[in-house]
Structure 1
Amino acid sequence: MTQQGTIKKLLPGRMAEVEVTRRSACGHDCAKCGGCGGLETQTLYVTAFNGVAAQVGDRVLLEGETGRVLGIAVLVYLLPVVLFFIGYGAGSVLGGGAAQAAICGGLLFALGILGAMWYSRQMKKKNDVPFAITQRL
């Protein structure tokens, strides 16, 4: 996974905050098509290893470890939903009715969100980021 971005801030430990403009998944010219509602201009800020000593304002090429990025996406998006259904099923089996099942599902969903937040903070503490700056443009 390769993207271009702009260095916004230098961080300790040869890290940098990079502004990346998110592109559409289909790779087409959304400005002309308008089919996806113009989401191509969404701006993200990612932390990346700055191995090329790029400076603030430099345009850079970022590479991400695709497997890790997808793993993080599964953790953040899929885990809470799966936990909701597990909780809903467990609540139903316990025989408390739909209300108890929904409460159990909601609690496990919240637990999944908290787990994803905890994991994200642990990655930041260790400077364990899935992105690296490979070159200045």
Structure 2
Amino acid sequence: MESSGKVTKINGRKITVKMFKESSCAHCSGCGEANKLTREIELDFNPKEREIKVGNIVTFELEDSKMLKIGFLVYVIPVIMMVVGFGIGSYLGKSEGVSVLYSFIGLFLTFLVIHLYDKFIVKEKVSMNITKVEEDTKDNEVSNCSTKK
């Protein structure tokens, strides 16, 4: 997965990047460039490998294998646990409504476990590799979003 953004702050070996929108509205010319920026993230970089300045546009990527693992953990495991919860309710001879309740309890517990796993067990956050650095040539101070009709 590849994304890009504008460098807003440099602190030692970390840079703060304000990401560009990756949706269809990112390519519209109706809004000013400042409205095309979304959330901020922090990236590690080696100042000896490349020079990065505030205002540069950086492109960074997350390895596909890591993206697949994250997607499986967040999207597939909860669905599997919903089915398991429903199966447990059915196995215990509960009614269909109670089995559905068991499935939502399984879903909730799965999200709770994923949250706790992310907060306390995962020591290394997902690292993204900076692949390209460009000078920003656009004026990003326009902040109104009005299209001409």
Q: Distance in 2 between matches of 1:8 and 1:114?
A: 34
For the residues of structure 1 that align with 2:11 and 2:114, how far apart are their CA atoms?
23
Q: What does residue range 32-43 of structure 1 map to in structure 2 within 5 Å?
A: 43=38
| SS across alignment from 1:87 | helix
Percent identity over paired residues: 26
Between the two proteins, the alignment pairs up a number of residues equal to 125
Which residue number in structure 1 is paired with residue 31 of structure 2?
A: none
Cα distance, 1:74 vs. partner?
Answer: 1.6
**Could you tell me whether the CA contact under 8 Å between 2:3 and 2:22 is conserved in 1?**
no
CA deviation map 1:51-105 (0-9, x unaligned): 3463443211102111101211221122112111111111111111123212211
Closer, same or farther: CA 70–87 of 1 in aligned 2, 3 Å: same
Matched, 1:97 2:95: yes
Distance 1:128 1:78 in 2: 21
Counterpart residue number, 2:123: 126
**TM-score normalized with structure 1 length:** 0.68
In 2, distance between residues paired with 1:57 and 1:42?
13
Name the SS of the counterpart of 2:60 in structure 1. strand
1:53 and 1:126 map into 2 onto residues whose CA distance is: 28
Task: Give the root-mean-square deviation of aligned CA atoms.
Answer: 3.2
Unmatched tracts of structure 2, length 5 or more: 29-35, 135-149
Kindly state the Cα deviation for residue 15 of structure 1 after the two structures are TM-superposed. Answer: 3.2
Distance 1:49 1:90 in 2: 45
Q: Distance in 2 between matches of 1:95 and 1:15?
A: 56
TM-score by length of 2: 0.64
- Shift, 1:42, TM fit: 8.4
- Aligned equivalent of 2:66: 68
Asked if 1:16 is matched to 2:15, the reply is: yes
Q: Compare CA radii of gyration and give the structure with the larger one.
A: 2
Match of 2:112 among 89, 102, 114: 114
CA distance in 2, matches of 1:77, 1:9: 33
Distance 1:131 1:42 in 2: 19
Q: What are the Cα deviations for residues 3-58 of structure 1, in whole angstroms up to 9, with x where unaligned?
A: 2212244467x33343323435xx9x975xxxxxxxxx683544432234634432
- Structure 2 CA distance for partners of 1:9 and 1:3, relative to 1, 3 Å: same
Whole-angstrom distance in 2 between the partners of 1:72 and 1:129: 10
